[in-house]
Each structure stands twice: as structure tokens, then as C-alpha cells.
Amino acid sequence: MTLRLLCLAALAVASASASAATFVIRDHDTAGLIAAIRAAETTREPDRIELAPAGLYILREPSDSRQSLGLPLIRSAITIVGNGAEIRRYSDAEFALVGVAHGGKLALENLGIAEASRGAIINRGVLHLDRVRVTDSFADGANAIIVNYGTLRGWDSEISHNSVLAAKRDAGIVLNFGRLELARSRLTGNTVTGRRSSVLTASALLNLGDTELRDVTIAGNSALAEPDDTSSAHAVVNLGNGSLQGERVTLVDNWPEEANVLPVNDPDVIN
């Protein structure tokens, strides 16, 4: 029985029992991965999807064209165990790769997310990143690589070599409106530019929510408000009522040089 048939069979069983399911996806079977997510969306219990060790899953078109997402929008509770695999866009079409709806819960483990073109991740629910690499993506028509409106927790993860170029409004590699927690993680080699001097650009994090950073390295990122203006360019920006707390946060080799300072909203908390 092919994996596609296995997925369809699992869908029938899951629909009937509404119980948790585990899907094992072979290397390069992107259709099987998409089918597994859709099947998992039919169950009431948390489901698990396991990818092939060091596998590659290529997305050539959005599976959810209305949301402009490479993978189906997550509305239920799903864990994707990457085993060192990578989900990568190879396409002229422009789309993000991962989206979590309000009420959805997604855990990604030991997985690479790469080459997205309208930002990589949009979270409105609960998203856990454990040893996740978000790399080589850019934002075309978006103002961030990762946008968080819900709760996002990341451990031992890397957000690197991504670009937001010619942003029309305030922009950052990570844009947080909700609750963000990062620990033992790195934001490195990212680039953000704006179209005009009034635009704030954050080459690592633009925070308007509640953020906690612990053992985080922010290094080698660059920001410009426009081609010749660094006055509104920073590595980390905290705006409005945003709350930013950090412990053992290292900022080094970011450009401009004055970007190597964490904004302080409570000097007794930020180290």
C-alpha cells in the first residue's frame, strides 16, 4: 500500500474514531505530508507526524492558496517531528510555509524551514519551536519573517540569513504582538531595510507584545530605514506597551554599531 493510500486510510480511521494518530512520512513525499496534516485536522486529539531522518520536503505551490501557505493552516493540535529534515519552497509562487490559526497548537521539533517568500511563519495560536532552523527566507509584501499574534516558545533554535527588504511599514525579522519566549537560541545574519526614514527596522526583533529572552545570541544582523539612513535602524526594537525582559542576551557585530544595545524597559531585569 502506498503512503498516499495509508494517509487516506488513516483519514478514514481518524474521522471515524476522532482519536489521536501518528503519521510516518517518507523522504520527499510532500503530498503525503500535506495529506497527513489534513487528516490530523479531522481528529479531536493531538496528532503526531514524523518526517524521514534528514529528509527534504519541497513545496512548489501553496496548499492553502487563500492563506498563501505552503502547508495547510493548523487549526487543531499537531506535533511534527522533523528528525533533521527540511521543508523548503522551490517555486516562483510567493507564499509563507507555516500558519497556525487562533485555537490551533503546533509543535515543531528538529526541523528546518527555508526559502519562504512572504515571511516563513504566521502564528495566531500556540507554537512551540524545539531545535528549529528558520533560514534563507525573505518577505515580499510582508514586514517580517516570523509574525506572532499568539504564544510562541522557542528553544535551541536558529533564525538566520533571512531578509525583509524595502518594507513599507515598521518591520523586523521577528515581529511579536503576543507572547514570545526564546531560550538558548540565535538570530544571526539577517537583513531588514525600509523604504523611508520614518520606518522602524529591527534586524532581529520588533516587539509590541510580551517578550522574554534567555541565553539568546543576536549577531551579525543589519538594518537600514532607507538606503542611507540608520537613525531608525536597530537590532531589537520595543514599542508602545511592549514588555521586554532578557537574561544573558548577547548582541555583537550587528549593524549599525549602535544597534548592539538591548532596549531597556526595566534595568533591573535586563542584563
In this structure, the chain runs to a length of 271
> Cα–Cα distance between 123 and 143 in angstroms, integer?
14
Percent of the chain residues past pLDDT 90, beyond the cut: 78
| Cβ-based neighbour number of residue 122 at 10 Å | 25
Closest CA to 49 of 63, 27, 33: 33
pLDDT at 140: 76
Is it the case that residue 161 has pLDDT exceeding 70?
yes
Question: How much is the mean pLDDT over the chain?
Answer: 90
Per-residue pLDDT of 208-224, as tens digits, reads 999 999 999 999 999 99
> Cα–Cα distance between 221 and 158 in angstroms, integer?
13
Is it the case that residue 79 has pLDDT exceeding 50?
yes
Angle at 66 between CA 135 and CA 104, to 5 degrees: 65
Confidence of residue 118 (pLDDT cuts 50, 70, 90): very high
What is the arithmetic mean of pLDDT over 76-97? 97
Is it the case that residue 110 has pLDDT exceeding 50?
yes
pLDDT at 258: 87
Is it the case that residue 41 has pLDDT exceeding 90?
yes
What is the arithmetic mean of pLDDT over 72-92? 97
Confidence of residue 70 (pLDDT cuts 50, 70, 90): very high
DSSP string, the chain: --HHHHHHHHHHHHHHH----EEE--TT-HHHHHHHHHHHTT-SS-EEEEPPTT-EEEESS-SBTTTTBSSPPB-SEEEEEEEEEEEEE-SSS--BSEEE-TT-EEEEEEEEEE--SB-SEEESSEEEEEEEEEES-EESS-S-SEEESSEEEEES-EEES-EEEEESS-EEEEEESSEEEEEEEEEES-EEEESSTTS-EEEEEEESSEEEEEEEEEES-EEESBTTB-TTEEEEEE-TT-EEEEEEEEEES-BSGGGSS---S-TTT--
> Cα–Cα distance between 112 and 133 in angstroms, integer?
5
b or e along 106-116 (b: 16 or more beta carbons within 10 Å of the residue's beta carbon)? Answer: bbbbbbbbbbb
> Cα–Cα distance between 111 and 141 in angstroms, integer?
25
Per-residue pLDDT of 45-69, as tens digits, reads 999 999 999 999 999 999 988 889 9
